[in-house]
Structure 1
Amino acid sequence: MDTVTSAPDVRQCDLCETVEVEIHCDSCLANLCKSCVGAHMITDESKDHKLIKLQSRKSTRLYPECKYHNKQQCIMYCNQCEIPVCKMCLASDQHRSHQVSEILKVVNEKKDKLIKERNELNETVYPSYQDIASDVQHRMRQLEKEYGDLSSAITKHGRAWHREIEKLLIKLQAEVDEMKNTQLQTLQKHLDEINKNISDIKNEIISIERAIDANDLSKLFDITSNAHIYSNLPQKISPSLPKFIPGKIQGEEFSKLFGALSPSSLTSDESGYSMKLTHKSTETGSSPPVKQLLDEPEIVTNIDTGYEYLINVACLSDEEIWTRGNDSTMKLFNINQGSLLKSIKTKSGNIPWDIAVTKSGALVYTDVSDRTVNIVKNKKIENVIRLHNWTPRGVCGTSSGDLLVTMCSHDDKHSKIVRYSGSIEKQTIQFDDQGKPLYSLYTCITENRNLDICVSDNKVRAVVVVNKAGKLRFKYTGHIPAPKNKAFIPLGITTDSQSHILTTDDNNHCVHIIDKDGHFLRYIDCGLREPVGLCTDINDNLFVAQWRNRQVKKIKYLVRCITV
């Protein structure tokens, strides 16, 4: 049997390509360093990754068995027939004059092709499908909202009709009462005349009877009878009642009169979705549009939030932002109008420590008092993570749909980052390569476009950046001179489409902008006062929450670079 012994040469990690290989994944045939094991495990959670130490990997390769010659191993590959072949196959006439290759060469070429295709699936196709799913979910949420608005419009129109009908009822009832009173008054007047005649007739009868019974015959000659007058009976008055003629309520006609719905439709775009281009896919040219820093940042608008103290802000869209202050209420504002759209109180009634918006558009917040991470869906609050010996601090959503949560131990002596898929813990980042703690207690967190994890650690006064595997890349400790010449104290943190990292500096009343490798670019200090939380929207507008004056400032600081 032919054997191929594993070479003792130094291999590079398939992910970071800079570290010696220590681990091998038999399921994916991938070589990994220890730091990249976690990142590899989450690239394809559907697989049962079988990880072994590289030196424990078997040294003997098992060649394919020949389909035509029993117990013969295929050590060559027929390029014309595109099948592995054994020595007996090569000796036969079947493959005479066919071009053959060493099977290991073909295997390596096929492996390279599969790795390339796997990378394309991981870096381009899979993220594209995630974006499509997110787009469909967004359309569904928008559909729910628009259908809700439609139902509200119909209800509003119906209430308007009810009001008009009530007015018409009152008007018709008033007309009926007026007609009734007029006719009753006429009949009453007629009755009064008749009763007067009745009284006069009685008096006439009495006078006649007295004259007839009197001994004084002269009284008979003095009385004059008016019987002929009363013999003409009064006219008969018969009132004519009005009739109510109801309008016909026929379904189709009434529907047209009230209003009707236009038909709904679903259209399909034959061109479909475009493939997502990620920062990893160098072959497809995936870089975002290049934008340059403005010479002078521009304040676009100010939004007054009404808190006693404003702490944080998170973008829901380019039109709406969530805010949180020093009470239990989180508020959603319309950016352009500055109007309050919605208010939501925390489930526990406690003050939220941090807020963020997930990839799907849901609001998520941490509750230090009851040690939970909560998500708001359709006005309902759900505890997705409940901790026991740790307290959650900062939270952010990631491009993969996971949550990154910073947390400190119960005794406040330790701090770490944990990645969650739903409520399942996937990754923990706590120490550097020397086993020293990466973080202190009070940390805000965000994910950069290159999947770096960026943390503002105001206790150690640094922005700490690790790669997706949790390996320390750099620490940014401020820039000199600072606008107020005070110590750098980072608080809120965010990133933009250019992979810039932005952090507020409360001590110097400004925002620091650094590049993805930790190099200082510039300050934003356009009249900011006590900036704390911040975020950016999809158009790279910056939103800064100011502590004491409770305003959110919308700032334009980038402009697209036009190349000729």
Structure 2
Amino acid sequence: MYTAVLHKSVTVRGVSQCKHITHVTSDRVWISDKEGNLILTNTRGDILDSVTDLARYGYGVHTVTQNGDVIYIDSDFNIIKRSKDKVKTTVIPYNTSPWDPHCVYSSPSTGDLLVGIRNDDTKTGQVNRYTNTGQHIQTIQHDNTGQGLYKYPNYITENRNGDVIVSDSGRYAVVVTDSRGRHRFSYTGTPSGSGLSPQGICTDALSHILVSDSRTQTVHIIDKDGNYLTELDTVQHGIDRPWSLSYDDITRSVWVGSWDNNTVNIYRLIYGGDNLTDPDSDDINKVDELKKFLRNEKTTVSHARGILVGCAEAGKTTLLKRLRGKRQSVNEITDSTRGLEVHQHLFIVRDKVLEGKNNF
């Protein structure tokens, strides 16, 4: 059972349409239109901030980092990071001609940047992975038979299992590879054979993939393996052509933006008949405040215990490595843990100075 309930409809000031949405917090999002406007807004549609040099071409041309900085493709094809105090830094200068960047996504798990680029001469596309400082570390372009995966990568995101998900209007498909670039599947529409004209994409708390379809004018919902689940009909709620999508983990809500105007509908997702998406507003504010504190402040932790629980191959071992300061290459294969493992990360603190540590 999978149900979406309309929670709120918002008219966003400062944009003519909602080409792309990027979440910051439960009540803050960046929204852009085809005119090159990029504004930070809230659930009342107010203009809180803006960027003036956004690229007009492309679709998924902005994203937000783990620290809340906005990253976007500018009018000169450079990829820019704009900090919360409005300082701009060129993370990836444009040096890939004739390959032009069309979409960008900042991974919340690794901090890596995924960039979808297109060569207009050859009518082909590819995905490049960079570190958060702009170092190129991976290219995804072909399947295991040598055939090109992409033609027109419009939007890009990442699933919780590390899959790279691309909405490709040239392939009329959602193209999914694993983190190492191996093609897993391409979703081309419902079992009825209605086809697909994919636009905005996002993933939810259950690793489902949501994609707007401008052909059926609905939002398709599929599982992480490409199996069709259901569709969200937004026409009945005033959005005739749903386009941009963004998901909020805290409220279990999906924001759906209109291509025709500056309307955004916020839907609460209900899974399995249990409404997991109606937390108290005070709880949401507390979580947002905690996230801000952890991003901006420093504190001393002398003793902590934790347990990592998840499905098989969910990434528990990889997460443990990252918690212990070990970066894993995207091409490194990690053996799955068998049974239960106990790890200790010991250190000595005297007068707030780290004197030594042992890893077991």
Q: TM-score, normalised by structure 2?
A: 0.69
Which residue number corresponds to residue 322 of structure 1?
30
Which residue number corresponds to residue 18 of structure 2?
310
Contact 1:467–1:473 (CA<8 Å) still a contact in 2?
A: yes
Instruction: Give the residue type in structure 1 aligned to 2:79.
Output: V
Which residue number corresponds to residue 362 of structure 1?
69
**Segments ≥4 residues shifted beyond 3 Å:** 559-563
Instruction: Give the residue type in structure 2 aligned to 1:552.
Output: V
Distance 2:204 2:166 in 1: 15
Query: Quick one: structure 1 residues 380 and 560, their matched pair in 2 at CA, closer, same or farther if it must change by over 3 Å?
Result: farther
Instruction: Give the residue type in structure 1 aligned to 2:206.
Output: Q
| 1:343 matches 2:53 | no
How many residues are matched?
Answer: 263
> Post-superposition shift, 1:309?
3.0
Q: 1:486-510: per-residue Cα shift (whole Å, max 9, x none)?
A: x410011110110000100012111
Query: Quick one: structure 1 residues 440 and 352, their matched pair in 2 at CA, closer, same or farther if it must change by over 3 Å?
Result: closer
Of 110, 116, 119, the residue aligned with 1:409 is 119
> Post-superposition shift, 1:411?
2.1
Query: Quick one: structure 1 residues 350 and 431, their matched pair in 2 at CA, closer, same or farther if it must change by over 3 Å?
Result: closer
Q: 1:61-86: per-residue Cα shift (whole Å, max 9, x none)?
A: xxxxxxxxxxxxxxxxxxxxxxxxxx
Distance 2:272 2:46 in 1: 29
Distance 1:408 1:350 in 2: 15
Q: 1:360-400: per-residue Cα shift (whole Å, max 9, x none)?
A: 21111123x42211111121222211233121011111110
Which residue number corresponds to residue 393 of structure 1?
102
State the Cα RMSD in Å.
2.0
| 1:494 matches 2:216 | no
Of 129, 141, 147, the residue aligned with 1:436 is 147
Query: Quick one: structure 1 residues 530 and 345, their matched pair in 2 at CA, closer, same or farther if it must change by over 3 Å?
Result: same
Q: Give 1:81-120 correspondences, 5 Å limit.
A: none
Distance 1:479 1:365 in 2: 32
Which residue number corresponds to residue 282 of structure 2?
none
Distance 1:310 1:561 in 2: 31
Distance 1:410 1:372 in 2: 18
| 1:542 matches 2:249 | no
Instruction: Give the residue type in structure 1 aligned to 2:72.
Output: Y
Instruction: Give the residue type in structure 2 aligned to 1:453.
Output: V
Structure 1: stretches of 5+ with no match in the other structure: 1-291
Contact 2:152–2:171 (CA<8 Å) still a contact in 1?
A: no
Q: 1:412-465: per-residue Cα shift (whole Å, max 9, x none)?
A: 533110100021001111111111101112431100000011111111111111
Instruction: Give the residue type in structure 2 aligned to 1:395.
Output: V
Query: Quick one: structure 1 residues 352 and 458, their matched pair in 2 at CA, closer, same or farther if it must change by over 3 Å?
Result: closer
Contact 1:344–1:379 (CA<8 Å) still a contact in 2?
A: no
| 1:526 matches 2:237 | no
Q: Give 1:413-428 correspondences, 5 Å limit.
A: 413-421=123-131, 422-428=133-139
> Post-superposition shift, 1:342?
1.7
Q: Name the structure with the higher helix share.
A: 1
Which residue number corresponds to residue 269 of structure 2?
557
Q: Give 1:109-508 correspondences, 5 Å limit.
A: 293-294=2-3, 297-306=4-13, 307-335=15-43, 337-346=44-53, 350-351=55-56, 353=58, 354-367=61-74, 369-377=75-83, 378-388=85-95, 389=97, 390-398=99-107, 399-409=109-119, 411-421=121-131, 422-481=133-192, 487-508=195-216
Q: 1:475-527: per-residue Cα shift (whole Å, max 9, x none)?
A: 11100448xx5x41001111011000010001211100000000000000132
Contact 2:159–2:165 (CA<8 Å) still a contact in 1?
A: yes
Secondary structure of the residue aligned to 1:316 is strand
Bigger Rg, which one: 1
Q: Name the structure with the higher strand share.
A: 2
Secondary structure of the residue aligned to 1:423 is coil
Contact 2:153–2:166 (CA<8 Å) still a contact in 1?
A: no
Which residue number corresponds to residue 280 of structure 2?
none
Contact 2:55–2:77 (CA<8 Å) still a contact in 1?
A: no
> Post-superposition shift, 1:341?
1.5
Distance 1:301 1:412 in 2: 43
> Post-superposition shift, 1:560?
6.9
Structure 2: stretches of 5+ with no match in the other structure: 276-360
Secondary structure of the residue aligned to 1:361 is coil
Query: Percent same amino acid at aligned positions?
Result: 32
Query: Quick one: structure 1 residues 560 and 361, their matched pair in 2 at CA, closer, same or farther if it must change by over 3 Å?
Result: farther
Which residue number corresponds to residue 292 of structure 2?
none
Query: Quick one: structure 1 residues 293 and 435, their matched pair in 2 at CA, closer, same or farther if it must change by over 3 Å?
Result: same
> Post-superposition shift, 1:410?
5.4
Distance 1:491 1:340 in 2: 25
Query: Quick one: structure 1 residues 350 and 397, their matched pair in 2 at CA, closer, same or farther if it must change by over 3 Å?
Result: closer
Distance 2:264 2:148 in 1: 34
Distance 2:246 2:274 in 1: 25
Secondary structure of the residue aligned to 2:215 is helix
Secondary structure of the residue aligned to 2:19 is strand
Secondary structure of the residue aligned to 2:25 is coil
Which residue number corresponds to residue 333 of structure 2?
none
Instruction: Give the residue type in structure 1 aligned to 2:56.
Output: I
Query: Quick one: structure 1 residues 550 and 415, their matched pair in 2 at CA, closer, same or farther if it must change by over 3 Å?
Result: same
Contact 1:542–1:555 (CA<8 Å) still a contact in 2?
A: yes
Contact 1:298–1:555 (CA<8 Å) still a contact in 2?
A: yes
